[in-house]
Amino acid sequence: MKDPALVRLVGGILALLVVASAVGAVLARKARSEAARAKVANLNARIRAWWLMVGVFTIAVWTGGIGSIVLFALMSVLALREFVTLAPTRREDHRTLVWSFFVVTPLQYLLIAIRWYGLFAIMIPVYAFVLVAVSNVIAGRTDRFLERTATIHWGLMVCVYCVSHAPALLILQIPGYRSNAKLLVFLVLVVQLSDVLQYVFGKLFGRHRIAPVISPNKTWEGFLGGVIAASGIGTALWWATPFTPAEALAMSIAITLAGFAGGLVMSAIKRDRGVKDYGALIAGHGGMLDRIDSLCFAAPVFFHLTRYFFTP
């Protein structure tokens, strides 16, 4: 890591985790009742998982482009497996799923590695769209054809296409700005802080439910508090980005709003399938898709806003 701004950014995240762990330790000592103890234990499990996730993410960013690409590719695979497990696919969809996992997903990340933006941007929306439908036709089963086909393509769009826009930030060429890893850290940090802060504000002040049918834990107080606080932090990090403070604020708001929408949409799917979490991969957090649901929507929006306004 030669870039001092990146070192400061990562140092700040680690400092934040130290504080969180300290608070967690104090709370654990103070908790008296059984319910409070369970709550604090869950909080501390989440904080420990954050250490692991930040560690993995830091190592990936440290190794430069290829580490981040591999990490996000793995995240896509894990997310897609959780998605497909819940999706109502049938035996006849098997070949299509094999294509999705073993060809489409690696190819999408390979295109980032070889910096072929043109194909990266259309491979899944155009070619995988055709491939999934044709492959399902060849399988020759027509009942619920549209549902099965659309579900698989939707899974590819959310888990692979959308997520791949995070490491794709690394191949944007922004005049006067070097080492795009900071941009990736900025995106992930604002998205995840927004999630955490919405949870914290919701727990502290939550009164009015924002979408009771879809996600009973989300409140207006949590939403506003989280979005405002995370956007404030994003603005304060303008020095690590190619943006002015005002632009950093606008970008942060876009990230947090898209992230919130992503969380709601993924919750709606979970409710429809009658489960609480997509998996049990990360202690206290549920599955991969539970952790990155906000990123799924925020990454492509942030990528294209940055690309449209800040690259020639």
Partner 1 sequence: MIAGLLASLARLVSGASVFFLSGPPDTRQRIYFANHTSHLDFVVLWSALPAPVREGTRPVAARDYWERGALRRYLSEKVFRAVLIGRGGTGSVAEARTTIERLVAEMGDRSSLIVFPEGTRGSGEEVAPFKSGLYHLCRQKPGVELLPVYLDNLNRILPKGEMLPVPMLSRVVFGRSMLLAPEETKRRFLERARDAVCALRDP
Question: Do 9 and 61 meet the contact criterion of CB atoms below 8 Å apart?
Answer: no
Among 44, 68, 89, 241, interactor with partner 1 by CB under 8 A: 89
Among 8, 27, 101, 247, interactor with partner 1 by CB under 8 A: 101
Cβ-count burial 118-150 (b if 16+ within 10 Å, e if not): eebbebbeeebbebbbebbeebeeeeeeeebbe
Instruction: Decide: is 65 part of the binding site for partner 1 (CB under 8 A).
Output: no
Is the four-CA dihedral 15, 290, 278, 136 of positive or negative sign? negative
Using CB atoms within 10 Å of the CB of residue 98, give its burial: 0 to 12 exposed, 13 to 18 middle, 19+ buried.
exposed
Cβ proximity to partner 1, 91 vs 276, nearer residue: 91
Strand partners, 282: 286
Cβ proximity to partner 1, 225 vs 279, nearer residue: 279
Q: How far apart are CA 222 and CA 224, in angstroms?
A: 6
Restricted to residues 276-295, the positions that interact with partner 1 (CB under 8 A) are 279-280
Closest approach of Cβ 178 to partner 1, in Å? Answer: 38
Restricted to residues 102-131, the positions that interact with partner 1 (CB under 8 A) are 102
Q: Which stretch binds partner 1 (CB under 8 A): 79-87, 180-188, 217-225, 231-239?
A: 79-87
Closest approach of Cβ 243 to partner 1, in Å? Answer: 39
Q: How far apart are CA 240 and CA 161, in angstroms?
A: 26
Among 6, 43, 73, 84, interactor with partner 1 by CB under 8 A: 84
Q: How far apart are CA 120 and CA 5, in angstroms?
A: 29
Among 54, 69, 77, 168, interactor with partner 1 by CB under 8 A: 77
Cβ proximity to partner 1, 23 vs 283, nearer residue: 283
Cβ proximity to partner 1, 146 vs 280, nearer residue: 280
Task: Return the CA Rg of the chain.
Answer: 20
Tracing tokens 């009942």 back to the chain, one arrives at: 143
Instruction: Decide: is 134 part of the binding site for partner 1 (CB under 8 A).
Output: no
Cβ proximity to partner 1, 86 vs 174, nearer residue: 86
Give the residues lining the site for partner 1 (CB under 8 A): 77, 81-82, 84-85, 89, 91, 94-95, 97-98, 101-102, 279-280
